[in-house]
Structure formats: structure tokens, C-alpha cells
Structure 1
Amino acid sequence: MTKLAERVRIRDVKTLSADWYVLKKTTFDYLRNDGTWQTQSRETYDRGNGATILLYDKERRTVILTCQFRYPAFVNGCAELLIEAPAGLLDNASPEERIRKEVEEETGYRVQHVRKIFEAFMSPGSVTEKLYFFTGEYTSSDRVSNGGGEESEGEDIDVLELPFDQAFAMIGAGTIQDAKTIMLLQHAALHIFA
């Protein structure tokens, strides 16, 4: 089988926007399975890679989630704040280093040990971002601040401590609609709280 890099020939790349993140339009030739070349065009949105974490207390069967305003979800009909697992862009840090900092900024918890569980592309048809997924145990003594995020970045985050069973049920009820959070809660159902 031909290597994927040998099946793609870039013809042209145009930057459409470089304001908040980078939006590019790329024209390329793609070698199809039948051996013919096809010219295609795609737009990609590059916002960098990120990391997310599910904080859990196994003994008390609780998890820490956040609640915040997300404009793209709002304009797509979401009338509520989104309930999410803490997350953030890597910004040139390692995934583990970044998630430790991000979880403290957003939730106020300073976690001692984090465990990477998998990596995933969240919307590979148009967004280049890969997310690194982590879990980490917490106790009430790990809380060092109120959290809430970085005001200078427009963050205004509420911290939620929920019983795991309630949080998991919120997926089916449609209260939790964030993909990364759903993935982390499903992982917890299978591997932490099973």
C-alpha cells in the first residue's frame, strides 16, 4: 500500500484568515484507490492542539466539571452554558504540563498525578486540532483557589462538583453536549467507576 504522504500533492495554500486562529484553503491532488489523481480543495482551521482532563474522586464517586459560555455553540442554537471537562490549548507546552496548569486555572484544583488515556481528532473534516485526554484523581485538599479561568482571555467559568452517576445521566438527558466531556465520562464509566 502506498504511504499517505505519497498520495497527496499540494498545489496551492491560501491563508483566508489569521485573526483568532488560522484558516487556510488548500488545493491538492489526491491519489484515489483506483489509481487516478483527483484535484480537491479543503479549508482547514488551525487552532493548535489541546488537552482535557476528567478530575475524579473514586471514593466519593464525584467528578469536577466546568460550566461556561461558548459563542460558537450559542450561535448554533445552544441556549445554555456548556458543561465541560477542563481543557486548554497546549501553547507550546507538553500536554501533561499544559493540562496541569489549565485545570488549576479553570477549577482551582492542583492535581498531583495525571494519566494520559488517549488522543483524538475532534473534527478532522475541517479542524486540525488533536486533543490529549487525561484523568486525574483529586481530593478536597487539592483545591488551592476558586478557579474560574483567565479573565484576560474572556473566561468566566463556574466549577461544578457532581456525583458521577448524575454527570453520566446528563449525557442522555442532553444536558452535557460537549464531545470531549462525553468521551471522558464514558471512559470513566468503563474504567474508573465500573
Structure 2
Amino acid sequence: MNPDIDIVKTEVLSDNWYVLRKVHYRMRKPDGSWVERTREAYDRGNGATILLYDLPRRTVLLTRQFRLPTYVNGNASGMLVETCAGLLDADKPEDAIRRETREETGYEIGEVRKVFEAYMSPGSVTEILHFFVAEYSAAERVSDGGGVEDEDIEVVEMGFDAALAAISSGAIRDGKTIMLLQYAALHLFGR
């Protein structure tokens, strides 16, 4: 660990949905002096996301679902168009994204390729998100998808060019989805 960081105390503020901690720490500044700081960190576990694509048809498979945090922050419908995603739980990222793909989209995909990983909101959330891409075809559809338990997920197939245009128009505003669509523009579909 970093010798210039000293965790003094950690308090659990909430463990209702996931865990919100208040962390008191000391940090050595470049001049050698120490400064004390307090920050909150939300730990929801690590996750994975995937862009499913069909090169010959130039389509991508996305999802649409209600996201309360966006609704309370000005998204009038609360609905977001997104890449399939979910938490790892105790699984390896590759296994977790296959599970999430089956649950959310109804597709049983084969090979997945990890393209990068990123901290999505490092100022307050601990999560590392693993990003994947995989091809899909109609033959791999094994169910309607829609998620599990209290998830109400709609499967959305759209043309790749329409998906890119949806970023500019604001119809797609989810960060992970934008990142994977941009990756696809550079590395999969060409322009």
C-alpha cells in the first residue's frame, strides 16, 4: 500500500443497499507535511459491462430500463439505454458478464473479449468496471431476457450508426455505453 496514506478511522454510514463508508485518513503532501482529510466512499462491488454486436448486420444489442438516480437528477422518464451490465458478485468478470447477458438480453453468448477496465466515478464510488465486447446472433437467443426479480429490462436492437447518433442527440447518456460504442467505432465497425 501507499506509505504516504494512513487510514485513521473508517465508519459505516449505511449498509442498506450497499455500503457507504466515511473514511478519515492522513496524506503526506509533496513537502513532507501531513494533512488530515475525510471522504465518503460508496462500495457496491465491482462490475462488468458488454457491447453485443453483429458486424454483418451493423447492429448492437442494448437494454432500456428505469434508473432512479437519473430520474431524481432531471431525467424526465428515468429510462436509460445502456449496454448490458451487472455486478460480479463472487464470479470472475467473464463469467459474470455471460450471466448478466443471459438474464438481461436472453442471449447465451460464446466468446467474450475484455477490452479495458475503468473506475467510473472515482471521487465517490469504489467500483472497477470490466468492459467486454462479443458478437451475437439470433441463433444464440435462448429466452426473452428482461432481467431477474425486480428488474424490468427491455432488449433494444439498433443499428450501429443510429446508436452513435443517439449519443449526439442525448438519447444515449450512459457513460459505459458511450465508452463501448466509441470503442466499437474505433476497433470493430470502422467508419
5+ residue gaps, structure 2: none
Could you say which residue in structure 1 is the equivalent of 2:181? Answer: 185
Partner of 1:64: 61
**Mapped partners of 2:130, 2:34: distance in 1:** 34
Gaps of 5+ in 1: none
CA distances 1:97-135 after superposition (whole Å, capped 9, x unpaired): 000010110000111110000000000000000000000
**Which residue of structure 1 lines up, in the alignment, with residue 114 of structure 2?**
116
Match of residue 140 from structure 1: 138
Give the aligned residue type for 2:122.
Answer: P
Compute the displacement of 1:34 (Å). Answer: 2.1
Q: How far apart are the structure 2 equivalents of 1:48 and 1:116? A: 18
User: How big is the shift at 1:79?
Assistant: 1.4
CA deviations over 1:72-93 (Å, ceiling 9, x no partner): 1110011131000000000010
Q: What TM-score, normalized by structure 1, do the two folds share?
A: 0.96
Aligned AA (2:137): T
| Mapped pair 1:75 → 2:75 | no
Indicate yes or no: 2:8 matched with 1:11.
yes
Q: Give the distance between the partners of 2:188 and 2:165, measured in 1 at CA.
A: 16
- C-alpha RMSD of matched pairs (Å): 0.7
| Bigger shift: residues 29-38 or 109-118 | 29-38
Please name the residue that 2:169 is paired with: 173
Counterparts of 1:160 and 1:18 in 2: how far apart (Å)? 33
Q: For 1:30, which of 3, 6, 27 is the aligned residue?
A: 27
The residue number in structure 1 matching 2:43 is: 46
CA shift digits 1:119-153 (9 cap, x unpaired): 00000000000000000001111111000001x2x
Amino acid at match of 2:8: R
- The percent of aligned pairs where both chains have the same amino acid is 57
Separation (CA, whole Å) in 1 of partners of 2:177 and 2:188: 15
Per the TM alignment, residue 33 of structure 1 is displaced from its structure 2 partner at its CA by: 1.8
1:35 CA drift (Å) = 1.6
* Counterpart-to-counterpart distance in 2, 1:170 and 1:33: 44
DSSP-derived class of the 1:6 partner = coil
